[in-house]
Amino acid sequence: MLSDKLQAALNNQVKLEGDSSQIYLAMASWAEIQGFEGIATFMFAQSDEERQHMLKLIKYINQRGGEAVIPDIAKPVLDHSSFKTLFKQLFEHEVFVSKSINDLVHIALEERDYATHNFLQWYVSEQIEEEATARTILDKINLIGDDKGGLYLFDNDIKGFNQQGTNNTTV
C-alpha cells in the first residue's frame, strides 16, 4: 500500500507527465505549421511517449492500492520564436522532469517503499536518455547556426532520431 505522501507525489508526477505530453504536442503542431515535417514527426512521437509514461504511473498507483488522479489538461505556454528556442525549452523541461523523478525516488526511500523505488528506476534511466537526446539535438542545432541548408538537413535527419539520441537514417 502506498503512503499518502508517496501517493500524492506520484499523482503530481502523473500530472507532470501529462503536461509533458501536451508540451510536445504543442511543439509538434507549431513545427507542422512551420513546415518542419521532421521536427513535427519527432515531437508527435515524444508526445505519445510521455502519455505512455503517464499511463504507466496511473496503473502503478492503482495496482498498489492507491487512487490515481487524472489531471486537468493545461495549455502549454511556449516561446515559438524559433526552432532553436523550442528545443532549448524541451531540454530545460526534461531537466525539470529529471529533478521531479529524483525527488520521487527520495520520497520512496524516506518512506521505505522499496517496490516504488524499484519501479521508479525505469524513470531514472529514461530521463538520462531524454536529457541526452535533447542535449544532442541542441548541439546539432548550434552547429547549424543560421544555415538554411543545415536546417533543411536537420529537419529531415531528426525523423530518424530515437531515444538513445542516435540517428537511424542514412542522411
Instruction: Establish whether 127 is an annotated binding residue.
Output: yes
Query: What is the CA angle 28-29-33, rounded to 5?
Result: 115
Alpha helices in 35-161 (DSSP H): 37-63, 83-110, 114-144, 148-157
Instruction: Establish whether 17 is an annotated binding residue.
Output: yes
* C-alpha grid cell, residue 161: 532520431
Instruction: Establish whether 117 is an annotated binding residue.
Output: no
* Cα 63 to Cα 73: distance, rounded to the nearest angstrom: 24
| Cα dihedral value 158, 160, 161, 162, nearest 10 | 160
* Cα 57 to Cα 35: distance, rounded to the nearest angstrom: 34
Instruction: Establish whether 106 is an annotated binding residue.
Output: no
Instruction: Establish whether 32 is an annotated binding residue.
Output: no
Is-contact 112 142, C-beta < 8 A?
no
CA-derived radius of gyration, the chain: 17
Q: In a 3-state reduction of DSSP, which class is residue 161?
A: strand
Binding residues for Fe cation: 17, 50, 53, 94, 127
Q: Which residues are annotated as a binding site?
A: 17, 50, 53, 94, 127
